Chains A and B, each alone.
Chain A
Amino acid sequence: MPTRAVITGLGVISPIGIGVSEFWKAALAGRSGISAIESFDPFPLDGYRSKVAGRITNFSPEQYLPAQQAERIDRYAQFALVAANEALADAELVMAREQPHRVGVIMGAGMGGMVMGEREITQLYLNQKPHRVHPNFIPVITLNSASGIVAMATGAKGPNLTISTACSSSAHALGQALHCIRTSQADVVIVVGADASITPLVFAGFCSLRALSSRYNDAPERASRPFDQGRDGFVMGEGAGALIVESLAHAKKRKARIYAELAGYAATSEAYHMVIPREDGEEVATTMKLALQHAGVAPGDVDYINAHATSTTIGDAVEAKAVRLLFKTRADKIAVNATKSLVGHTLGAAGAIGAVATSMAIHTGHIHPTANYESPDPACRLAGISRTVQERKIRTALLNAFGFGSNNAAVVLAKYRP
């Protein structure tokens, strides 16, 4: 039997709350964290078709990190570090008692250090002074800066990797953490997903891609509405999620609380299109099936799916179609929710934040509502999607994440049974 891996600590920073306790309370209340963008100073807001986002407005890094450190790292890395610290504390994992080379860090990030990245590029072109590019520019925008920073802050000297597969990044990070544990490269992996790129250029890029919601600029809290007939695109969010993944033996030895078992994972490519999924849903269904096989569980054991569900017209319909393809008549018996209805699409952080919500659902038996699910779209009707909290004893859950580049991930989390 392969080495079992379990989740023993959680951390999150999101538009609906900093810290798991605040996040989960808001999630169960179905509260939207989407608000109006007031300005992209100095750029005219009129030029942006979408004017809403899931921003974290009450975060001051100095409250969580030493001021000098906070100043030297980009916003996404600040989020990563704060979430990782919370997860470590939650797991009561004391690094001084661990063998440093047996603790790894695996990050998922889609965009990376775009706050400084955009600022420096703008200033270079405005001022024409290459010698004034900040010396910290390269270390900050290098995509693995956050995983390095988490390692330096914690002393984790094991495998240190960053996965960048756009919106599926941190779901793959979880999957790679599972491999890391099963192949005995580490006893513990700190898994983090983080992104903070609601920045003038990235946001304009998503507007130009016509990927963002623009219909609810006057009612931001209604803009992210996965599976609803009135959806018209995703809403950008920012944040981080962190999970402590460790071998069962290691968790038992230190008598850790177990939220869930990390039981299986599949990674696939549709080999189809940079940004459009295959409309028949076959590839998504196959990804979920392979993940369940990897976990050694049958489709009939699945009680809950934390859907990728970004609130785009085609993406949500394809995912719902895939659920029906794989689970057939059971599809309507599975509880399904969309964490992005609350926090927006946090890109590289989405998988990890979804995994925090999934772990909490398995642990507590409460499945958070899908906000704004008011008029079910016949193209993605599943009986298990609800605007209210669902209570269920979850045996097995699936976490889906799909990314640009024709990239799919599915992760299986399960109730821990000794």
Chain B
Amino acid sequence: MTDQAIVSQIIHALSQYLKRDANSITEQHHLRDDLGLDSMAVIELLYKIEETFNLQIPDEDLAGLTTVGSVARYVESRVAPGEAPKSPPAKRAPGKAKAAKKKR
């Protein structure tokens, strides 16, 4: 079970970015397919999340971050257990698949 405080902060960030009611966003929503975020928008969202949770998210971790829930679980794995958000940066998570797609 994902920490609901983390989930709600991520949903809050999304609702602010998308100018959309937070109650209409769920943990199951896919960032691209359901919420319409392109790869650049995902990067902007993660930029906000890095600030909120005092994290640095390495490029190689981006590929797994596709749904609201997967972002929440990722953040949970990175903040030290028992600590509220704004904790010091956790140790880097093990590398996942490949980096986000890009660009020019």
Contacts and interface: CB of A to CB of B under 8 A. Distances in A.
Interface of A: 49, 166-167, 208-211, 214-215, 232-234, 273-277, 308, 310, 312-315, 402-404
Given A209-B43, A210-B43, A273-B40, A215 B103 contact: no
Contact of B104 (A208, A215, A402): A402
Interface stretch (B10-18, B23-31, B57-65, B73-81): B57-65
Contacts of A215: 59-60, 99
Contacts of A274: 40
B38 A214 contact: no
A112 B97 CA distance: 36
A233 B102 contact: yes
A214 B38 CA distance: 21
Contacts of A232: 59-60, 98-99
Contacts of A308: 104
A147 B38 CA distance: 37
A167 B104 contact: yes
A404 B104 contact: yes
A233 B99 contact: yes
A275 B43 CA distance: 12
Nearest to B102: A312
B2 interface: no
Nearest to A214: B59
Contact of B58 (A166, A214, A314, A403): A214
Interface residues of B, number: 17
A313 B40 contact: no
Contacts of A313: 98-102
Interface of B: 38-40, 43, 47, 56, 58-60, 62, 98-104
A314 B102 contact: yes
Instruction: Report which residue of A166, A167, A313, A402 has the largest number of chain B beta carbons within 10 angstroms of its beta carbon.
Output: A313
A275 B100 CA distance: 13
B104 A403 contact: yes
Nearest to B46: A210
Contacts of B98: 232, 313
Nearest to B99: A232
Contacts of B60: 214-215, 232
Nearest to B42: A210
Which are the 10 A-B pairs with shortest beta-carbon distances? Answer: A312-B102, A314-B101, A313-B101, A214-B59, A232-B99, A312-B103, A210-B43, A275-B103, A211-B103, A211-B102
Contact of B40 (A276, A312, A315): A276
A213 to B, nearest CB: 8
A43 to B, nearest CB: 15
Nearest to B62: A210
15 contacts: A49-B56, A166-B104, A208-B47, A215-B60, A233-B102, A234-B103, A273-B38, A275-B40, A275-B103, A276-B103, A312-B101, A313-B102, A314-B102, A315-B103, A403-B104
Contact of B59 (A49, A167, A273, A310): A49
Nearest to A407: B104
Given A208-B47, A210-B99, A232-B98, A312 B59 contact: no
A404 B62 CA distance: 22
Nearest to A233: B102
A310 B102 CA distance: 10
B40 A49 contact: no
A315 B103 CA distance: 5
A275 B99 contact: no
Contacts of B40: 273-276
A274 B40 CA distance: 9
Given A166-B104, A167-B104, A233-B59, A276 B47 contact: no
B74 to A, nearest CB: 15
